[in-house]
Amino acid sequence: MKRQSLITMVLWACMGAAIQNVNAAEMFVSFGRTADNQLQLTQTSDTIIYSDADWEGVKIAVRNLRNDLKAVTGSECAPIIVGIVDKSLLANKYKKQSKHLKGKWEQYLLFTDKGKLVILGSDKRGTIYGIYELSRQIGVSPWYWMADVPIAQHNELYINDGMPQIQDRLMPPGHNYVPDLGQTFAPQKRYV
| DSSP codes joined into one string, the chain | -HHHHHHHHHHHHHHHHHHHT--PPPP-EESS--STTPEE-SS-----B--TTS-HHHHHHHHHHHHHHHHHHS-----EEEEETTT-GGGGG-HHHHHHHTT-SS-EEEEEETTEEEEEESSHHHHHHHHHHHHHHTT--TTTTTS-PPPPP-S--EEPTT---EE--SS-TT--SS--HHHHSSPPP---
pLDDT of residue 176: 39
pLDDT of residue 98: 87
- Is pLDDT larger for residue 172 or for residue 34? 34
Confidence tier at 149 by pLDDT (50, 70, 90) = confident
Query: What mean pLDDT is predicted for residues 68-96?
Result: 91
pLDDT of residue 180: 43
pTM: 0.73
